[in-house]
Structure 1
């Protein structure tokens, strides 16, 4: 963050004035439109489906309750590739429409998939599970006493939901919407493929196409300010509100059994996001991949797979190690310093990958250049790019970006380890590190594996930071998919996209198993 601010301030007012006069208003307006559209879409779909599967009974509810999580496995840009292949002008839908009707290209109107609306739709389909998971958990944890009291006072089932259940679940729903909004402003692959000008695309264009480092830093500062402002506004909107269970006894909510057209409507409402956000794109990508003649076993593709797996594995291990250090330090030395460290560590998730890339590349590139100049002047030796030309700067960026996810999983498991275990270990002569190694880590193995898997998959899908920071001739599956899609070779892009999807399904399957088990 400091590097982004300093780089932006040293860019001079000329660059700022040029940005304000040309692209900045457009970037801000488009980003704001996307944020509002995705926030509303994920709120309606996520909270609505969560309420239906927890508060009502209808045909197919049991499997839809689990299937609604599946779109989370898709990166938004992969979904964009699939729907562009089908709905674009040369796609099968419009081609069939012209063949059947005999219309020409100008004789009919068809929704443009490469648009702000199309980007918002793709992001909504893959991000609504954030809201769904948190809202569903909140609804299940609520006691039914307040809901029953509202019904006894004359409220209908829907009225009691609006006046009691929804307000009580507001913190969880707001948290899910905030996660979706953060992912929206950080997205690059979808908006770049659809040609939608946002802050994320502006940073990449300024950095590479225009070679304007100051402009990229100033755009990154704008995006960083926007992301942090959203987090602050969401926190302030809660005010001093407190949410408590109604009564001491927990009474599970009894779902209302739906019949007739209401049951059919509920089934359709829950099945549609799964169909459009997972099932249909998978069919499209498999069809595209079969006709692409791409070979995953040739040397070039095995290199992409190796690079992706190496980068994701190393980043996951380093990030988990950092999460363990911060979490264990906070437990052993609770206080302002340790809580401050954990708070700063969590800020990375609110910062888009492109901003992190700029914030790391600027100071380390300056260090590499200064070191190279010094070694040339003193010893006539060129050190080259020691840090910026290596994979380790990418690992650092991913650690910053995804440390919050690993820290959350670690702290969730750590909360189950009673403080008496620490005291018993210390009384038996164990040092703090010995307590961590012999007591905490064996107990926390499931949580650690979950954190490792989450970060691994997130790194596999990450695109903007990878595009900016990757060394020469170090391409990943995400970069290859983006490059092929940028060249309009969508069938070829389907093959690496399917591999990314297959890897992304691993944590989603774990989440689905937990959703299926934890009912009530």
Structure 2
């Protein structure tokens, strides 16, 4: 009897000791996590510090009186059009594949996410080649009907409406994934009750399923709108006046970094409005299934004309958002392609892989640092650090580029002056002269994706495993190395893959911050397309799409197994 109390009290001493170690020796973990959050906050603070700054004489006044109203008007139209487009395509497709049975439904359920692998600017290049006056569509129409240029009207794809169509076709999977998960996990039993009360399937959708899925739909729309605001390649190529094109023009054409920062601040205000919209759209409502059975309602079988309509409704976004532009890219790359394909293409691919690989490696390491620090230190400071470190994804690449370049350039000049004073030689720009500043900007932009994957992996490790490790005398560092890392291998690989793919597609930050003679596949595709060399741009664009298919394969496999997948 006396031995049992001794055994029960023995773990108390190591637990207190572990807490002391955590408080004393692991204070550096908390400091590193706070420093990482501070580095993410630097671009925001840098942009914000230029609110009342004065740049070149008259630049801001000129922008405010000439193009700023157009930027605001076009941005609002883009957000409204894209929000409506992705909602109709995403919610409609999710409702059809989750609540109805028709030929091809199982294939559509996973294939509808494939457009996420297609960057919007790549699709813009492809559709321009297809639909322009000398393209195959208009040429075939003129030959078939004997028309001249003045005999018919054809919509101009290089317009605000064309940009809305491109963004809607590329970004609707955000809403589709969110809505599909909501329809599968919530409302199944409630729909059965609604049907027993005499509601038709359409009434059940409007009164039951749609209101319950509204928070998830709002989250998907917010992601799509933030991607729209962050885009540069599509709007620049279509000559649509938005804040991203204005930032690029103010920085490079006018040479006024203060005006560029002020435009970036206005763009950041639009991002905040999108986040507020997403929060308000949730309506403060919460829904929960009271039934322990999580299976959805039985799918309604469709036949005849209704099955054909459902098939066409699912095929339209898939064909328009992936199959058609992907096929056109492949055909152009095989028949014409890049005349410089060979050594230069391999160098471009190597630059892209180097940039994406370094960013992915550092982002995963920092995400693991922040995630584990949040697990060990549960104070208010760590909670704020975790939130701040996750802000980067909400910032457009152009805003981050401006926010990084201003302080980093000043630091570069200060270091160069100090070096020259000490050693008598000028070392050049140590940070911005290479890819260090660009890697930093990409980490700020995509650290959130790595954090979400790492946090999801850490959440699956029960706290009892940490307690058992501490009771055996392991320090937090040993616990991380021996317990957490083996269990986190899949999550860390997923995090690295997500960041790698995102950086491969990144265009605005790379265009602004790349050092001299350092081009990537994304900048090569943009440069060739801007010169109207669309066929040559197809090779680099196709390579980006092929790499982007890697995470889509993982998502498609999860969907095919019947799992619920939500977008990160």
Normalising by structure 1, what TM-score? 0.97
1:343-358 equivalences in 2 (<5 Å) = 343-358=387-402
Matched, 1:4 2:17: no
8 Å Cα contact 1:143-1:251 kept in structure 2: no
2:489 to 442, 445, 454: 445
2:528 to 462, 480, 484: 484
What's the CA shift string for 1:23-75, capped at 9, x where partnerless?
11101111111111111111111011001000010111010111101111000
How far apart are the structure 2 equivalents of 1:366 and 1:290? 46
More divergent stretch after superposition (427-436 vs 416-425): 427-436
1:112-511 equivalences in 2 (<5 Å) = 112-294=156-338, 298-376=342-420, 379-511=423-555
Unaligned runs of 5+ in 2: 1-43
How far apart are the structure 1 equivalents of 2:63 and 2:319? 41
Query: 1:379 deviation in Å?
Result: 4.5
What's the CA shift string for 1:5-36, capped at 9, x where partnerless?
12343235944322220111101111111111
* Structure whose alpha-carbon radius of gyration is higher: 2
The alignment partner of 1:49 has SS state of: helix
Query: How many residues get paired?
Result: 520
8 Å Cα contact 1:409-1:451 kept in structure 2: yes
2:142 to 95, 98, 106: 98
- What's the counterpart of residue 126 of structure 2? 82
How far apart are the structure 1 equivalents of 2:126 and 2:214? 34
- What's the counterpart of residue 10 of structure 2? none
Moved over 6 A (4+): none
- What's the counterpart of residue 25 of structure 2? none
How far apart are the structure 2 equivalents of 1:238 and 1:143? 17
- What's the counterpart of residue 47 of structure 1? 91
More divergent stretch after superposition (439-448 vs 182-191): 439-448
What's the CA shift string for 1:417-460, capped at 9, x where partnerless?
11101111111222112111111111121111111111100000
Query: 1:482 deviation in Å?
Result: 0.4
Matched, 1:111 2:155: yes
8 Å Cα contact 1:43-1:177 kept in structure 2: yes
How far apart are the structure 2 equivalents of 1:208 and 1:437? 47
8 Å Cα contact 2:124-2:166 kept in structure 1: yes
- Distance change in 2, residues 1:154/1:293 (3 Å): closer
How far apart are the structure 1 equivalents of 2:336 and 2:45? 45
How far apart are the structure 2 equivalents of 1:16 and 1:293? 42
Task: Give the aligned CA root-mean-square deviation in angstroms.
Answer: 1.5
The alignment partner of 1:59 has SS state of: coil
8 Å Cα contact 1:81-1:485 kept in structure 2: yes
How far apart are the structure 2 equivalents of 1:209 and 1:51? 47
- What's the counterpart of residue 114 of structure 2? 70
1:34 to 67, 78, 84: 78
Unaligned runs of 5+ in 1: none
8 Å Cα contact 1:76-1:123 kept in structure 2: yes
